Amino acid sequence: MKRLNLAPWLFLTPFLFLFSLFTVWPLINSMFLSMQQTYGPGRTEWVGLHNFKFLLTDPLFWKATANTVKFAAGSLFIQLPVALGLALLLNRPALKGRAYFRLIFFAPSLVGMPFVAMLFAPIFARHTGLLNKTLNYFISGWPIDFAWTQNYVMSALIIAALWMSAGFNMVYFLAALQNVSRDLIEAAEIDGAGAWHKFWHITLPEILPIAGFVTLLSVIGSFQLFELSYIMLNDSAGPDNRGLTIVMYLYQTGFEAGDLGYASSIGWVLALMLITIALIQRRILKRHEEH
């Protein structure tokens, strides 16, 4: 006697229904949309591959891409090393107050991106801002009206994101470090290995899988930057589009100018970039594992 096994499908119904309706269908639809020019969601015109052709020579899109890459480089080369450094400091055996330090460093990542933007806008302000006043106090001749959110937008965003995310990534690094076998480290110490040697030859290879995972998440997240810039710059891309990011450009074309078609093609190019990054990251990690 074999009765039809319905239970699994009942458990999966909410996922399958909502996933088909709100992910699969829009995904298919966005392929068609990317070949249309729309004027709001209701009116549309078929343009074939014109959107993609236009995108390749669209200076605003390339400006957005350059800005986004700058931001991602900031999180890759500044934020992740800081996160790893904090984790290494916290990973010292017999450290007192580890839980408190961890809580303090993690706290900023509880502040959502929109609220980080609101919190940092006044910090970057020209005359009254905390950052300029502090820098002016410590560095003689630092201009009190230094224009962070006018002329150095990407640097400002990298600083705010550093504050927000370093502690979050630190938690991952710390978990990885605590899994590194103490025996290996002690063996190296007996052999007289220095701190740098221990880190480079034992700790780093051991945490590489998680480090790779954190790096990938971090870069993918950076490529989707929107709120931080948009809100900090008062719902705009800033002077001369210095704060324009790829997702902000998608938002502007789709929801301010009303061209959902062009916005879809930007979305597809972004997806392509992210998939490429993921593939490159996998290649690099694989090569390291082979060595």
Q: Between 4 and 57, whose beta carbon lies closer to another protein?
A: 4
Query: Least Å distance between CB 204 and another protein?
Result: 17
- Is 255 near another protein (CB under 8 A)? yes
Q: Which are the contacts of 119, defined by CB distance < 8 A and separation ≥ 6? A: 111
* Size of site (CB under 8 A) for another protein: 84
Q: Could you say which of 49, 56, 66, 103 contacts another protein (CB under 8 A)?
A: 103
- CA-based R_g, the chain, Å: 24
Residue 281 Cβ, how far from another protein at the closest point, in Å?
A: 12
Torsion of CA 154, 204, 220, 159, to 10 degrees: -20
User: Binding another protein by CB under 8 A: which of 2, 3, 8, 59?
Assistant: 8
Tally of CA atoms within 13 A in the half-sphere of 39 that contains its CB: 2
Whole-angstrom Cα distance, residue 200 to residue 214? 18
Residue list 233-252, contact with another protein (CB under 8 A)? 234-235, 246-247, 250-251
- 155 lies in the site for another protein, by CB under 8 A: no
Closest distance to another protein from the beta carbon of 144 (Å): 12
Task: Provide the minimum distance between the beta carbon of 30 and another protein in the complex, in angstroms, as a whole number.
Answer: 4
We find the least distance from the C-beta atom of residue 10 to another protein, in angstroms, to be 8
144 binds another protein (CB under 8 A): no
Segment 18 to 57, residues that bind another protein, using CB under 8 A:
18-19, 21-23, 25-27, 29-30, 33, 41-42
> How far apart are CB 52 and another protein at their closest, in Å?
14
CA atoms 242, 243, 244, 245: torsion sign: positive
Q: Residue type for 164, please?
A: M
Rounded to a whole number of angstroms, the minimum distance from the CB of residue 69 to another protein is: 16
Which listed residue (16, 66, 280, 284) binds another protein by CB under 8 A?
16
Within 122-141, the residues that bind another protein by CB under 8 A are 122-123, 125, 128, 130, 133
Rule CB under 8 A: choose which of 60, 69, 114, 193 binds another protein. Answer: 114
Residue 215 has a CB neighbour count (10 Å cut-off) of: 19
Label residues 241-268 b or e (16+ Cβ within 10 Å = b): bbbbbbbbbbbbbbeeebbbbbbbbbbb
Residues 170 to 209 in contact with another protein, rule: CB under 8 A: 171-172, 175-176, 179
**What whole-number distance in Å separates Cα of residue 160 and Cα of residue 71?**
11
Binding mask 209-228 for another protein (x = CB under 8 A): -x--x------x---x-xx-
Measured from the CB atom, is 235 or 290 closer to another protein?
235
Under a CB-based contact definition with an 8 Å cutoff, are residues 265 and 34 in contact? yes
Helix intervals (H) in 5-75 = 7-19, 25-33, 50-56, 59-74
What are the φ/ψ torsions at residue 257 (nearest 5 degrees)?
A: -90, -15
Q: Which two tokens stand for residue 206?
A: 């051991």
C-alpha closest to that of 263 among 22, 64, 30: 30
